[in-house]
Amino acid sequence: MKLWAKILIAIALGVITGFILGPTAALLKPIGTLFLNALNMLIVPLVFSSIILGITSTPDTKKLGRVGGLTLLLYTVTTLIALVLGISVSSWLQLGKELHLTTATAIVAKELPSIAELFIGFVPRNPITAFAEGNILQIIVFGTLFGYCLNYIGEKAKPLIQCFDAIANAMFHMTSLVMKISPYGVFALMAWATGSFGLEVLLPVFKFLLSYYAACIAFAIVVFGGMLFFMAKLSPLPFFKGMTEAIATAASTCSSSASLPANIQCATENLGISKSLANFVLPLGCTLNMNGSALFQAMSALFIAQAYGIELSFQHLIIMSATVVLATLGTASIPGAGLIMLSIVFNSLGIPLEGLAILASIDRLRDMATTTLNITGDAVCAVYVAKREGELNEELYYSQVKESQVEQTVTISSQTQA
């Protein structure tokens, strides 16, 4: 049985177990925490070595600038589309007006840094501190500069490049080992989440959760499917099938960073993206491309504003959009970071922070869709860039569908013979 099938079964069994055990399912949480720790262990060395390999394997600086610029443009455009969709859905449904908020514990907002402070924060004062703190954005900046300098010094850098190549290969092998135990960690995490929250906690905001899931699905089909079909001239079906394991990992871990190893693995082994391009584009997207997060921030801000009877003007929506983009850049791609981002957005608009409490009750289930959309957007952009740069193995890309057709043919033949 394939790994993605095991993960999906583990998710289903975890939900059932959580409903049966209730709060007692929290006893299983240490198993899930152990799995998350194993994934987090991979992130820093994998991102750093992948970025360096992605740059050093592309010594053409013009191509490197072209790929980086196109990637950032795609990430920016898709994030803005997600914001517009979130605003449109919440404005159309007006679900917040059906909600009557009660007093709740406020979550202290994190102060939004100025634009100057944000850009200053891109460059680490001490790279070792950035590694120790797991600051992915600073690691990417340092790794990009380091890789560029290795390209610049030429032959002298080859031994070091080979060293990073060995580190990256070792990390990919370690990723495969960790992924083998993923069904057990996923089962424990889902059992704990279901047992802790339960459906009765979701009832006050059940319509909002459903509308958010529907918006995520619509975004994936229309925007991602449209990018693949109209821009990359590729069928979307092989993409979504090839991403199944990464999507299942994202839904269970609720962490773009923790899902990065699985995302890179699916991109290179299933979708046919070259390793050098995947190693450059996907870590960048893990930090900068948050389509699901942007969609959630926009929908949540309008949802709670409607619940309090606050009218948001067009200027407020512009401020909210700018805040979401900046907050997304400055927030770690880990579980629970969504509420920190949302507190920043609420604070910038004057929305009472008490509204965060009711959204916190569904945060885990919401984060499943958010993270899935985030990592899927990274991979879609990587496929498009790879197609433009001639670094996409289309035969491997379409093999995902051909395998399914072969399996169906074998099954039908077996049934006919029987």
pLDDT of residue 38: 82
**Would you state the structure tokens that stand for residue 413, as one six-digit string?**
């033949």
**409, amino acid identity:** T
Q: Tell me how far apart the alpha carbons of residues 191 and 18 are, in angstroms, rounded to a whole number.
A: 4
β-bridge partners, 392:
273
pLDDT exceeds cutoff 60 at 268: yes
pLDDT exceeds cutoff 90 at 273: yes
Question: Domains of the chain: which residue ranges?
Answer: 3-407
Closest CA to 338 of 306, 293, 382, 374: 293
Q: Are 361 and 201 in contact (CB under 8 A)?
A: yes
Q: What angle do CA 31, 358, 311 make, to 5 degrees?
A: 145
**255, amino acid identity:** S
Q: What is the pTM assigned to this prediction?
A: 0.70
Closest CA to 228 of 64, 109, 400: 400
pLDDT exceeds cutoff 70 at 154: yes
CA atoms within 13 A on the CB side of 108: 2
pLDDT exceeds cutoff 80 at 152: yes
pLDDT exceeds cutoff 90 at 319: no
Answer with the residue of higher pLDDT: 100 or 380: 380
Rounded to whole angstroms, what are the CA distances from 223 to 48, 50, 217, 219?
A: 30, 28, 10, 5
Span 288-305, average pLDDT: 88
Q: Tell me how far apart the alpha carbons of residues 44 and 143 are, in angstroms, rounded to a whole number.
A: 11
Mean residue pLDDT of the chain comes to 80
Q: Are 296 and 338 in contact (CB under 8 A)?
A: yes
Q: Are 188 and 356 in contact (CB under 8 A)?
A: no
Closest CA to 127 of 140, 114, 113: 140
pLDDT of residue 410: 38
Span 221-232, average pLDDT: 96
Write out pLDDT tens, residues 49-102. 877 877 777 656 676 678 878 888 998 899 999 999 999 999 998 888 776 554
Q: Tell me how far apart the alpha carbons of residues 170 and 177 are, in angstroms, rounded to a whole number.
A: 11
What is the band of 411 on the pLDDT scale with cuts at 50, 70, 90?
A: very low
**182, amino acid identity:** S
Answer with the residue of higher pLDDT: 408 or 384: 384
pLDDT of residue 218: 96
Place of tokens 């839904």: 251
One-character DSSP codes across 377-404: HHHHHHHHHHHHTT-B-HHHHHHHHHHH
pLDDT of residue 217: 96
Place of tokens 């795609």: 74
**373, amino acid identity:** L
Q: Tell me how far apart the alpha carbons of residues 413 and 407 are, in angstroms, rounded to a whole number.
A: 10
Q: Are 340 and 359 in contact (CB under 8 A)?
A: no
pLDDT of residue 55: 75
pLDDT exceeds cutoff 60 at 145: yes
CATH class in words for 3-407: mainly alpha
Span 149-173, average pLDDT: 86
pLDDT of residue 406: 45
Span 104-116, average pLDDT: 47
Closest CA to 56 of 282, 286, 275, 382: 275
Closest CA to 18 of 5, 29, 6: 29
Closest CA to 338 of 375, 289, 371: 371
Length in residues, the chain: 418
